[in-house]
């Protein structure tokens, strides 16, 4: 089965969409992916991207990319550009690119409508006082002393907030709901706050900014979103979401959004439905934006695209494939049950995808010299190797062979353990594609370390010779020392060494659990065909794992490869 078109898992959101279409509730479904541009996207966001864009594609609908840019003090154009790259790299295209800031005038007019209807008021309480008045989970809140201001007074104050007359944090616009509600989110939530911060899209035009719940619900309504998919922490916010949509009622009040029509933004408001699903939690990592920003800002990693990071940019540089990530989230499915997924499942999906797609090459990353003594020192020949053992369409390549070779140091043992079937003193092993060699002599340096193996090649065991079918238990790979290209190889592993880095019950933080072995840089050798790969080309180095030519540092003359995943799950036995 191709990983490009994984078998679709049935889940409750897919069924809701199917039922809504069958009932004629919508003629076309419309979803959105609404990231806040305050950091790089991570694997949890990839779940939402795959779900929103995937459903739109599956049911012939549309999906918008909308930036929730209502908190400009934490936002940056770098993040905007990175998010667009990540969505495209995952294989998706948005129907329209929108910004919450496109609708600032709509939000403002909607707030005025709520004030005129007696549904919102301007409050002078400080942030600390608001928390004090809010109450607790077991005690009701208290009404603000400013709650009963007249409509006229609230309109005047809010318009003056808009004009920039008041200092940051001095006033808020709050919805007039129920301070005794059992849902704290409904205890007169803030709709607007005074923030005199420069905005990347609107400049200094707005000294006030809408709160997330207000802006998000009305953005969905303005864009005609049919299914607003979000994670479970927003379940308690759904009553406020519905209240904002219902009370503003954009669909039946076109005066509120005429500014969009004048600006040429297609607008067909409707009543969206919010549906919650569980987050994508994965072990051995953290996916809190705050923690990821800390890792970057404190130089605990090498930037947002460090291959150890769970960011989409990091996974891309690591060599993970878009198809493998899509396969992973489709295979995991969607539910309302929070759970933590084993990182090995994701790595397995990447491994499965790469096994089918990655050509094979020869590389040695911990080199030990092997010299074949019964061939002339100047002997040279070219062998033909298949590029993929399971797919003839990959073709074949020429691999240079000489008597001077590099092999993996772990493929030789001077004192072999029980069951060791590779090279040992007076032992034999098959050199991949060459024939059987016997280890006759060890060369050691002054410290007693083996630096060279001197071997003889059984010429009768070569391809086409009478002894080519002679059996030996071990086969090892090699590269010609005369022809191989020196390469930097980065061996990446999990960034944290504990299953749940977020668990601070032992008095340690996630930073205390950084895995010191998460990156190891070695200097090895690759066959010329591997050095000739282009940046971001993925390959299997035989017997070693899947690797990618680094997207920034790799050149043909000085190759740099990152290990994507090992050939099998090395963490499973540790669990």
Give the Cα separation of 187 and 142 in Å (integer). Answer: 9
Specify the pLDDT at position 135: 95
Specify the pLDDT at position 573: 55
pLDDT over 80 (residue 350): yes
- The tens digit of pLDDT for each residue in 300-348 reads 999 999 999 999 999 999 999 999 999 999 999 999 998 899 999 999 9
Specify the pLDDT at position 3: 41
Which of 147-156, 323-332, 363-372, 563-572 has the weakest average pLDDT? 563-572
Provide the pLDDT confidence category of residue 87 given band limits of 50, 70 and 90: very high
Specify the pLDDT at position 266: 84
Specify the pLDDT at position 467: 86
The annotated binding site for L-glutamine is made up of 68, 212
pLDDT over 80 (residue 289): yes
Which of 366, 44, 83, 370 is closest to 232 using CA atoms? 44
- The tens digit of pLDDT for each residue in 58-71 reads 999 999 999 999 99
Average pLDDT over residues 411-423: 95
DSSP string, 526-547: E-HHHHTPPTT-EEEETTTEEE
Provide the pLDDT confidence category of residue 9 given band limits of 50, 70 and 90: confident
- The tens digit of pLDDT for each residue in 107-165 reads 999 999 999 999 999 999 999 999 999 999 999 999 999 999 999 999 999 999 999 99
* Share above pLDDT 90 across residues of the chain, in percent, rounded to a whole number: 94
Specify the pLDDT at position 220: 98
| Higher pLDDT, residue 42 or 266 | 42
Give the Cα separation of 437 and 461 in Å (integer). Answer: 9
Specify the pLDDT at position 10: 86
Give me the chain's average pLDDT, please.
95
Specify the pLDDT at position 452: 98
Average pLDDT over residues 353-367: 98
Residue 331 neighbours by CB distance under 10 Å: 17
Give the Cα separation of 195 and 189 in Å (integer). Answer: 17
Rounded (to 5) percent helix, strand, coil in the chain: 30, 25, 45
Which of 556, 538, 83 is closest to 351 using CA atoms? 538
Q: Could you tell me the fold of the domain covering 362-482?
A: Ribosomal Protein L25; Chain P (2.40.240)
- The tens digit of pLDDT for each residue in 167-181 reads 999 999 999 999 999
The annotated binding site for ATP is made up of 36-38, 42-48, 231, 287-289
Specify the pLDDT at position 574: 55
CATH 3.90.800.10 describes domain 100-277: yes
Specify the pLDDT at position 575: 46
Give the Cα separation of 486 and 525 in Å (integer). Answer: 4
Which of 293, 332, 330 is closest to 75 using CA atoms? 293
Specify the pLDDT at position 1: 33
Specify the pLDDT at position 228: 98
The CATH 2.40.240.10 portion of the chain extends over 362-482
The CATH 3.90.800.10 portion of the chain extends over 100-277
pLDDT over 50 (residue 2): no
Average pLDDT over residues 535-540: 98
Beta bridge partners of 472: none
The annotated binding site is made up of 36-38, 42-48, 68, 212, 231, 287-289
Could you list the active site residues? 36, 279, 289
Ordered alpha helix ranges (H), 117-176: 127-134, 151-163
């Amino acid at each position: 089965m191709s990983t490009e078109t994984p078998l679709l898992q049935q889940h409750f959101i897919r069924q809701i969409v199917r039922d809504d279409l069958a009932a004629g509730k919508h003629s076309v479904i419309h979803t959105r992916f609404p990231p806040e541009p305050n950091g790089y996207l991570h694997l949890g966001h990839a779940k939402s991207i795959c779900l929103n864009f995937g459903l739109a594609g599956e049911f012939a609908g549309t999906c918008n990319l909308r930036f929730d840019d209502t908190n400009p003090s934490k936002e940056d154009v770098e993040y905007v550009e990175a998010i667009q790259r990540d969505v495209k790299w995952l294989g998706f295209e948005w129907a329209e690119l929108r910004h919450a800031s496109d609708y600032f005038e709509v939000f403002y007019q909607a707030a005025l409508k709520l004030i005129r209807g007696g549904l919102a008021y301007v409050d002078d309480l400080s942030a600390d006082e608001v928390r004090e008045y809010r109450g607790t989970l077991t005690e009701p809140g208290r009404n603000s002393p400013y709650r009963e201001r007249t409509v006229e007074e609230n309109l005047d104050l809010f318009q003056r907030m808009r004009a920039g007359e008041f200092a940051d944090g001095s006033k808020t616009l709050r919805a007039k709901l129920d301070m005794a509600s059992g849902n704290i989110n409904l205890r007169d939530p803030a709709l607007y706050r005074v923030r005199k911060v420069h905005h990347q899209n609107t400049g200094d035009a707005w000294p006030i900014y809408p709160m997330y719940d207000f802006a998000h619900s009305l953005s969905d309504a303005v864009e005609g979103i049919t299914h607003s998919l979000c994670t479970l922490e927003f379940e308690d916010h759904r009553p406020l979401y519905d209240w904002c949509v219902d009370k503003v009622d954009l669909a039946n009040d076109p005066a509120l959004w005429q500014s969009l029509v004048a600006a040429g933004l297609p607008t067909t408001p409707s009543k969206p439905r919010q549906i919650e699903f569980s987050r994508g939690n994965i072990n051995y990592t953290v996916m809190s934006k705050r923690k990821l920003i800390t890792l970057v800002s404190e130089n605990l990693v090498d930037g947002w695209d460090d291959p150890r990071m769970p960011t989409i940019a990091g996974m891309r540089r690591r060599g993970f494939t878009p198809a493998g990530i899509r396969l992973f989230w489709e295979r995991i499915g969607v539910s309302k049950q929070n759970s933590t997924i084993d990182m090995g499942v994701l790595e397995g999906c990447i491994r499965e995808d790469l096994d089918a797609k990655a050509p094979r090459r020869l590389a040695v990353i911990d080199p030990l010299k092997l010299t074949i003594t019964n061939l002339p020192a100047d002997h040279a020949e070219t062998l033909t190797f298949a590029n993929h053992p399971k797919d003839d369409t990959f073709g074949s390549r020429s691999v240079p062979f000489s008597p001077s070779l590099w092999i993996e140091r772990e493929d030789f043992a001077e004192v072999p353990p029980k069951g060791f079937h590779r090279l040992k003193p007076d032992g034999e092993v098959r050199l991949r594609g060459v024939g059987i060699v016997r280890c006759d002599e060890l060369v050691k340096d002054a410290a007693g370390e083996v630096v060279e193996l001197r071997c003889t090649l059984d010429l009768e065991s070569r391809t086409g010779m009478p002894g080519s079918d002679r059996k030996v238990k071990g086969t090892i790979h090699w590269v010609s020392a005369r022809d191989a290209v020196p390469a930097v190889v980065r061996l990446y592993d999990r960034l944290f060494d504990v299953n749940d880095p977020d668990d601070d019950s032992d008095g340690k933080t996630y930073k205390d659990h950084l895995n010191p072995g998460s990156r190891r840089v070695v200097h090895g050798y690759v066959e010329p065909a591997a050095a000739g790969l282009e940046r971001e080309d993925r390959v299997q180095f035989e017997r070693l794992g899947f690797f990618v030519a680094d997207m920034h540092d790799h050149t043909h003359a000085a190759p740099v490869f990152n290990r994507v995943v090992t050939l099998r799950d090395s963490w499973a036995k540790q669990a």
